[in-house]
Structures are given as C-alpha cells and as structure tokens.
Amino acid sequence: MRAMQKLKLKKRRLIESRHFIVKIVFSLFYSPMKPITLTAKFFRLPLAFRTLILSGLVVALVACSGDGSQSVEFAWVQFGPDGYQVRAITSRAACPIALVRTAQSKTESKIPLSTRALPSGDDFPNRVCELNLPKNTQAVTIAEYGLDMTVKDQDIKKFAILGDTGCRIKVKDGSSDIQACNDLDEWPFPTVSSSIATKEFDAIIHTGDILYRESPCPEGNKGCAGSPYGYGYSGFEADFFDPAIGLLRTRPWIFVRGNHEKCGRAGIAWTRYFSPWPIADGQCREFEQPYTLDFGTVQLLVMDTSASHDLPPLVPGQIEHYRGQFEELAKVVDKDRSWLLAHHPVWAFRIRGTDSGEPAPASQTLIAAIVNDQGDQILETQAVIAGHVHNFTLFDYGDSMPQLIIGNAGALLDLAFQQDQVGLKIGERTIKRLTSFSDFGFSLAELQQQRGWEFIQFDKDGNPYGVSCTLKERTCVEAGGNPVPLVCVDQQEKLLHALCGSLVIYSVSYIYPF
C-alpha cells in the first residue's frame, strides 16, 4: 500500500512540476520582443523569481529520478524568539549540513542541523531537523534541498502577508464544508504562492491556519477525490509544503499559530514543524509564549491565540491567561512602530459560526482580555494583523489600532462585510471606516519614506486591487493624508464600489490604486 502511494505521489509531482515549469518558462520567454538570450533574460529577473524557477526544476529532477522511493526534502528559514531558525523535513536517516555565511566571516561554515523530531508512526514518517543560525547570518544554503537564501535581521522594509491557506474538507455532525482541492479556481493557494514568489519582499508573514483537510473526501466527490487528510504529514504536504515549495525557499517566514493548529487538531504537527520554541517530548503546548521581533523598521509582537474561544460560552481561565500575555507584551512594546500578529482578530466581526447569521465579535475572549479590571486598554500598537476570517478586511477606528484581516489565501471564503456595519461597536470601539472584499489573494506591506507602512492587496494572480491603507501613527490614511476609501468587491460581477461622498460604480477586471 505504501509503495503504491509513493508511486502515485511520484507521478503527481512529475505532472505538476512539468506543468509548472512549462507555464513559467512560456510566460517569461515567449514574447514578440527582439531576440535576447534566455540566459541574459533569466539573470535580469528578480532573485525571488529566479529562485522559484530553480525550485521548480529541482522538483522536476527529484520527481523524474529514482525508483519511487525517493527521499522527501523540504527546507525553509523562519524567525523565532532568538533569531533565524532553519527547519528541514527529510526521509533520510540523518539531518543535512547547512553552509552558513555570517557578516564576520568571508567563507562559509559547515553546520549540521540537529534532529528536532524523529519519525513517529504513519502520521509522521519523516525526520524534522533544525538549526538556530548564528547572529549576523547573511546567507544559508542546503543545496540538495534547494535552499539558497540571503537573509537580514534589520532594515526589513517589505513583508508579504497571507493566511488561511489550506483546502477545507470537513465533515462533522451531519454537516460538511467541502472545497474542490483539485480545482485551482476553487482552491488557488498554489497560484497565490507562485504569485507571491514573483514579488520583491524581505520576509513572509503567515497569519495562521495551515491545515484544512481534516476529513476524508466524500465518496463520489470529484473536486477533492484522492486528497490525503488528517493532522499528520500527508495533510500538511498537500495543504502547504507541496504548493508552497518555491515560496518556502525565497525568504524567511514568520508563522502565527492558528486555531487549526491548536492541541486536539493539528497541534502535534505545529509543534514538530513550525513552533518557534524548543520541542518538549513531542507534546503539544496549549499555550505558547508570545515573543517580539525587532527589525528596526518595525517591532512585531507575535502571539499564540490558537485556543481562544470566539463566542460564548467562554472557557474559564482563558481571559486571565491572555490578559497576562497582553501585560507582558505591554512591558516591551514600542507602540508607535509595532504590530500585533495574532491569528484571531481582536476587534472585528465574524458571520460564519453564529446562530443568527448576523455579525458578532470575532473573539470575545480577546476583547475581554485586552482591558484590565478598570476597563483600561492594556496594550497599544500601531495595528493588529490577523487571519481567521476568510476575506480581506480593514476595520478602522479613527485614532487607535486599526484591525487588518488577511485570511484569503486559499480556504473557503467568507462573505465581505457591508458598509451598513460602519458605526457599529465592537467592544468599546466604534467602526469609523471599513474596507472589505471576498476574493482570493494576499497583501504586501512596504515602508514608504515619510509616509509609513503602505498595505496593498493583490488578487490570486498577483494583480493589485489598490492601496488598502497607509499606517500613519495608529490610523489608516491615503498617501495624501485623507481617510482611506471605503471599498468592497463583488466577487461575481467584479464591480468596484467606492464610497467617497457618493456612490460611483466602475466595471473593471481588477482594481487599480485610487
């Protein structure tokens, strides 16, 4: 049985890799322009795009070689509390060796990765390896894994941001949410991943919820037929590692833990693969400690809200626990240049999961936890960036901590929020402006001199929807200083509704910046 599964996997990777390389090369080099050598044109491409193409070639070579028992190799760089960490997954008997170059050294040092987690039954058949990189590392290479990355820990000025990436297959209590994982229009994360890899950026933020294939595909459903499922390696390989293989190798990642990665769901896999903390006997921690990343340009406060309950009945002790975490972060925050990264939005609505179908606060636990017994807010940051709700939304409150939701990279979409919700209260806050649309895509956040951090949303193919907002102090403004336009996109008819005093409707294929 396992040999047959490996053979099917090999054939699937071969087909996907051939299709991927043909599509990329054709789109790049077929042009009516005057002749130019492919070599010259290749080296004029951005580094991220060159890495993507080479990663595809590596996948193709691996898929074409061997007898069906080829080793599995994924490697990436992520941030942790003490700096850069290299992670690798392998079916080999030993961990690989990394070539590391630091600012103090002109030559590369060979540093072996150590075993983070051993193979464990059918759910986790592979070894997980790790290496905490030395301070001032400039580059790291694991050639046989396709990893060749330059890194920097200061002066980071551009982030790619995505979240809620997996393909939903969930059957529970007679109801089901089934996404067509075999259809790139219905589950476009592979497309989103490829589109991000063509952009220039310094680091990637994943706002959480990586694994969605929780149940077997119902018999007779062609949309997800043949999909692996469950909380082990095969589910993560299908939902994340395979479609993100090129993107994994482009830039370092910041992984935020989502509720799909909590204990009782995919918590063990999170602990093995992505947790920034040392592994403890392979056990899942219900709560992981928050930590900070200071890049000079921005301070990121990374918080684990995976266990947080959205709606009543709330869990005893959770409010006190998260209040303690907010208090710890408040001791180190630089509120004028910091973002809180958490999977659950603090001040936002949700519709999915409510009995009435009406908007309800997305996380009543966090709303209660972020204020003290006197009702004073414990933590102030420049913005809160989250996922959990499957759309793109900006809730702006005028002068305090706008809430951005970026959770539209692959999982079954939620409805966009409507403009009649402006003026409603979430906790003690009143929504002043609202930007929301339900379409697949991702965001880029770029530091603009004299203007602040500019957030731009892209569709799944990498086309820009426009400037969502520029963070200035603790509110969102346009580049000229005006309030951000209120925008929503009708996914079916592709109409832009811009409410700037009066209603103007444009028919567009995609949306340019105002």
Q: Could you tell me if 275 and 399 lie in one domain?
A: yes
Residue 370 resides in a domain: yes
The residue type at 445: A
Q: Could you tell me if 98 and 166 lie in one domain?
A: no
Residue 330 resides in a domain: yes
Q: Could you tell me if 318 and 402 lie in one domain?
A: yes
Number of domains in the chain: 3
Q: Could you tell me if 25 and 141 lie in one domain?
A: no
Q: Could you tell me if 43 and 93 lie in one domain?
A: no
For the chain, residues with pLDDT lower than 70 are 1-72, 173-175, 282, 351-358, 466-468, 473-514
Per-residue confidence (pLDDT) for residue 234, from 0 to 100: 97
Q: Could you tell me if 342 and 233 lie in one domain?
A: yes
Residue 513 resides in a domain: no
Per-residue confidence (pLDDT) for residue 479, from 0 to 100: 37
- Residues 124 and 232 sit within 8 Å (Cβ to Cβ): yes
Name the residue among 290, 293, 377 with its Cα closest to residue 334: 293
Q: Could you tell me if 129 and 226 lie in one domain?
A: no
- Residues 215 and 230 sit within 8 Å (Cβ to Cβ): no
Per-residue confidence (pLDDT) for residue 53, from 0 to 100: 59
Q: What share of the chain is helix, strand, coil (3-state, %, to 5)?
A: 20, 30, 50
Q: Which domain holds residue 113?
A: 73-152
Q: Could you tell me if 181 and 304 lie in one domain?
A: yes
Where is the domain boundary, 27, 53, 70? 70
CATH classification at residue 370:
3.60.21.10
Distances (CA, A) of 97 to 273, 279, 423: 18, 20, 56
d(CA 169, CA 451): 42
Residue 512 resides in a domain: no
Per-residue confidence (pLDDT) for residue 321, from 0 to 100: 96
d(CA 44, CA 442): 25
Residue 80 resides in a domain: yes
Residue 118 resides in a domain: yes
Per-residue confidence (pLDDT) for residue 488, from 0 to 100: 34
Name the residue among 445, 512, 452 with its Cα closest to residue 478: 452
Q: Could you tell me if 243 and 164 lie in one domain?
A: yes
d(CA 446, CA 118): 39
Q: Could you tell me if 46 and 88 lie in one domain?
A: no
The residue type at 144: E
Where is the domain boundary, 70, 103, 125? 70
Where is the domain boundary, 152, 184, 205? 152
Q: Which residues are bridge partners to 86 per DSSP?
A: 77, 131
Q: Could you tell me if 176 and 31 lie in one domain?
A: no
Per-residue confidence (pLDDT) for residue 29, from 0 to 100: 38
| Helix (H), strand (E), coil (C) string for 384-429 | EEECCCCCEEEEECCCCCCEEEECCCCCCCCCCCCHHHCCCEECCE
Q: Could you tell me if 199 and 77 lie in one domain?
A: no
Residue 215 resides in a domain: yes
